[in-house]
Structure 1
């Protein structure tokens, strides 16, 4: 297993984060549906969407954890804290930039997708993972497990959070999330895609577990 370092990231990593997440999401079924992969310009729409999400995330000073090998960013998770939910999509500046770069129809699909995911969520508070990924060149090396282990420990330090929520439309990740202790709590239909929503509870404090 390669030696990897976990680091909390700031906006100085935005460019590397955009590149990594573009490669992680360009073949994902969810982005294929939301950004219309059967229509010309799909790669540009993926780049634009990832760029706007990452830039807005760091602009709003939201947390991100990175996995680095020899100072190269090879894995990342953008985190929406309990008090923020999915507030990025509520920004009118973000929506306007999305319309101008990804197009009105794809932006509308993206917003509808987020609304549907929110409707599946249990009562909070909890952390959300809007985007995460390991660079394709480094997949299959158990780096995802390292990143999630760090995420679970990091989120558990927030005593106000009940756990961590994520969603995926890629069936290949379902078993992986199950091994990590995630439970499916809802589904959203995105055209032919079934988007599954998963929850991982934070460990209970010893004082609470003993009561």
Structure 2
């Protein structure tokens, strides 16, 4: 069943936080950044996702979701080219992170974002800070539908050359290639090898 595509706002923040927390709970990159082997990992991850989503909507940055019978089942937060570091450079976001996720996790996440952005070639690209499909709906083509909606949205920005996404999960490498992504390179995030992919904006 095809889901309805919606532009999201702060009214969807609570659902988005819950969905993204579940989507990233077992991701290798986030497990390293927020120390999954140390007690309190789930609390730190939940706090991070809450801070990122709250700041994203507070700054009125774009987000796209899929709704199935009014239930949010997939979401993508989008950072336009000119605002890639807007969230992590915010003192309010950093304060929230320090209070709830701790100094070490905050530093690792900021370093991760800066390393990622420094690895990109020159040019205006959209970036996906967070994207996820609810575990209950994975493997049912909703990821493909969400990515297609994001691609179409990015094409509307005539200044954008395309979309960048990264993953430290080997399970997704072939998946992104099948969706038309080209691998730009790899970066080391602690023990995790992060793969950076690019999908060009195709305009007629």
| TM-score computed with the length of structure 2 as normaliser | 0.98
Matching residue of 2:73: 74
Runs of at least 5 residues in structure 2 that lack an aligned partner in the other structure:
none
Deviating beyond 3 angstroms after TM superposition, the runs of 4 or more aligned structure 1 residues are: none
Question: Would you say 1:151 and 2:127 are equivalent positions?
Answer: no
Matching residue of 2:37: 38
- Equivalent residue of 1:125, what SS? coil
- Tell me the distance in 2 between the aligned counterparts of 1:135 and 1:31: 17
Per-residue deviation at 1:131? 0.2
- Tell me the distance in 1 between the aligned counterparts of 2:181 and 2:49: 25
Per-residue deviation at 1:191? 2.0
Per-residue deviation at 1:133? 0.4
Matching residue of 2:91: 92
- Equivalent residue of 1:133, what SS? strand
Question: Would you say 1:62 and 2:61 are equivalent positions?
Answer: yes
- Tell me the distance in 1 between the aligned counterparts of 2:50 and 2:199: 28
- Tell me the distance in 2 between the aligned counterparts of 1:124 and 1:95: 27
Matching residue of 1:5: 4
| TM-score computed with the length of structure 1 as normaliser | 0.95
- Tell me the distance in 2 between the aligned counterparts of 1:161 and 1:190: 27
Please identify, of 119-128 and 137-146, the stretch whose mean Cα deviation from structure 2 is larger.
119-128
- Tell me the distance in 1 between the aligned counterparts of 2:47 and 2:18: 11
- Equivalent residue of 1:89, what SS? coil
Structure of larger gyration radius: 1
Runs of at least 5 residues in structure 1 that lack an aligned partner in the other structure:
207-211
Per-residue deviation at 1:139? 0.3
RMSD value, Cα: 0.8
Matching residue of 1:178: 177
Matching residue of 1:129: 128
Aligned residues: 204
